[in-house]
Amino acid sequence: MKATLVLGSLIVGAVSAYKATTTRYYDGQEGACGCGSSSGAFPWQLGIGNGVYTAAGSQALFDTAGASWCGAGCGKCYQLTSTGQAPCSSCGTGGAAGQSIIVMVTNLCPNNGNAQWCPVVGGTNQYGYSYHFDIMAQNEIFGDNVVVDFEPIACPGQAASDWGTCLCVGQQETDPTPVLGNDTGSTPPGSSPPATSSSPPSGGGQQTLYGQCGGAGWTGPTTCQAPGTCKVQNQWYSQCLP
């Protein structure tokens, strides 16, 4: 049954559900929504409880304007329901169909260095999907790299309370992320995402505060302008933080 999805002031067009690819990671870092401290992530990021997890969202879920810190999508929750299928025969085994979890976006999965899974805004990943969730978990949750149907929902009470402890609360960009188009994962598998470029910022080749400074495949600056220090957020993304 089709329904109109409402998230805050954003009204999303009538659709059954959107589709996304999923992976999982665990790095113990606070992430690009500031849910932690210099010593690492808040413990609840590994699992809020009652089937609620945290995740790094692809750019369209984190911030459609391209922000890499305190994106407008920070703190937003989604219900993910497994289709039971992996996006390709060689990139996962899938899992049982029909199982659902809730995730809250607390980090960014950038396209740079991770185009296989995390697309640019308006593009698709290597498997033809416009959205991706990298779920923070040490063990499989509902399968191996499963494709999911997802929809935005109100965060459960405990998740909303936990989000209130993050640095980015009240500091997000004004971009009304997420902007979910009518894509339901129908793009033919194997489509390549648009190419991206990384131009070093001004300042002698050093990255500006809150900019990217490392991660798998990163070819830009790896040192930060004062008072920033390059800190690892996950295997794909390091960021200049004070």
List, by residue number, the catalytic residues: 27, 134
> Tokens standing for 55?
């995740």
Q: Are 94 and 86 in contact (CB under 8 A)?
A: yes
| Residue pointed to by tokens 């191996």 | 144
- Quick one: how far is CA 190 from the chain centroid? 21
169 phi and psi angles, rounded to 5 deg: -60, 125
Query: Residue 140 carries which side chain, given as an amino acid letter?
Result: E
Q: Are 218 and 202 in contact (CB under 8 A)?
A: no
Q: Are 30 and 42 in contact (CB under 8 A)?
A: yes
